[in-house]
Amino acid sequence: MAVDVTDTSFQTDVVEMSKTHPVLVDFWAPWCGPCKTLTPILEKATDATGGQVLLAKVNIDENPGLSQAFGIQSVPTVVIFKDGAPLDAFTGAQPEHMIENLVASLLPDPTQVRILDLLQQGTEESLRDAVALAPGNEDAVCSLAEFLVRIGGAEEALGLLTRLPETERVRRIAAGARLSMNPIDNFDEELMSLLERVKDDEVARQEYLDILQTMGNDDPRTAKYRKQLTARLF
């Protein structure tokens, strides 16, 4: 079902709504013949998605502000909004099969939807199912690795993380996994002890970096200890 949008409701009904659902914005006018052909096709195609793709109608005669803002020079013009911003647009009536293909292209990937659902469940079984569906998906692999670290499966977590590119999140989880196998009660004391060996001892250097990664940049001590490491190495 299409929503009639005005200059004042556009931000809420289109921009904000498009952050969760793609929105087709149909700029039309009562005197436009092709509009009377295109609008029913748009309504049919979007209604068929069960609310996954939405349709908003803008009467340019009643909402000149929107028409001017989008530089509408002829109608019908359809602007596609996604993630809070215009994604694409087309002008003029289009065949029904082209509209159906366009709407279909905006539907979420069923596999990704299933993965998100499994991640939200957050159980070990659901997280393993998510990784089985997408072995290279960072969210799935990292979520399972974090879970495994919490329940004492650090070695398996480290094995899982090797299939991913090294990102900040991957480094943080890996550091936490390694440290969980050798818990440290006093970071300051351990860092000062390791600092004496970091130049010539690769294991000590990695443990030092793991502790800094676990502490994170929000910890004011991290920057100080990074400087000390740099000074000692170079």
Q: Which CATH number covers residue 18? A: 3.40.30.10
Model pLDDT, residue 225: 85
Shared domain check, 122 and 219: yes
Per-residue pLDDT for 184 more than 70?
A: no
Shared domain check, 53 and 136: no
Shared domain check, 189 and 210: yes
Q: Which residues are catalytic?
A: 32, 35
Angle of helix 138-150 relative to helix 168-180, nearest 10 degrees, comes to 20
Per-residue pLDDT for 1 more than 80?
A: no
DSSP alpha helix (H) spans, 19-153: 33-47, 64-69, 96-106, 110-121, 124-133, 138-150
Please tell me the distance from the alpha carbon of residue 112 to that of residue 105, in angstroms, as a whole number: 14
Shared domain check, 39 and 83: yes
Q: What is the dihedral of CA 166, 172, 174, 175, to 10 degrees?
A: 130
Please tell me the distance from the alpha carbon of residue 79 to that of residue 90, in angstroms, as a whole number: 7
Model pLDDT, residue 124: 95
For residue range 92-127, what is the model confidence (pLDDT) as tens digits? 999 999 999 999 999 988 888 899 999 999 999 999
Shared domain check, 213 and 115: yes
For residue range 39-66, what is the model confidence (pLDDT) as tens digits? 999 999 999 999 999 999 999 999 999 9
Per-residue pLDDT for 186 more than 80?
A: no
Q: Which CATH number covers residue 132? A: 1.25.40
Report the percent of the chain where pLDDT is more than 90. Answer: 68
Model pLDDT, residue 9: 95
Mean pLDDT of the chain: 91
Number of structural domains in the chain: 2
Shared domain check, 119 and 173: yes
Shared domain check, 152 and 76: no
Q: Which amino acid is it at 78? A: V
In this prediction the pTM is 0.58
Residue ending a domain, among 58, 74, 106, is 106
Model pLDDT, residue 188: 82
pLDDT band at 175 (very low <50, low <70, confident <90, very high): confident
Per-residue pLDDT for 232 more than 90?
A: no
Residue ending a domain, among 55, 74, 106, is 106
Shared domain check, 226 and 118: yes
Please tell me the distance from the alpha carbon of residue 27 to that of residue 2, in angstroms, as a whole number: 12
Model pLDDT, residue 57: 97
Q: Domain span at residue 161?
A: 111-233
Shared domain check, 204 and 131: yes
Please tell me the distance from the alpha carbon of residue 138 to that of residue 133, in angstroms, as a whole number: 12
Shared domain check, 120 and 226: yes
Instruction: Please list, residue by residue across 104-141, b when 16 or more beta carbons sit within 10 angstroms of its beta carbon and e when fewer do.
Output: eebeeeeeeeebeebbeeeeeebbebbbeebeebeebb
pLDDT band at 132 (very low <50, low <70, confident <90, very high): very high
pLDDT band at 183 (very low <50, low <70, confident <90, very high): low
Residue ending a domain, among 91, 106, 121, is 106
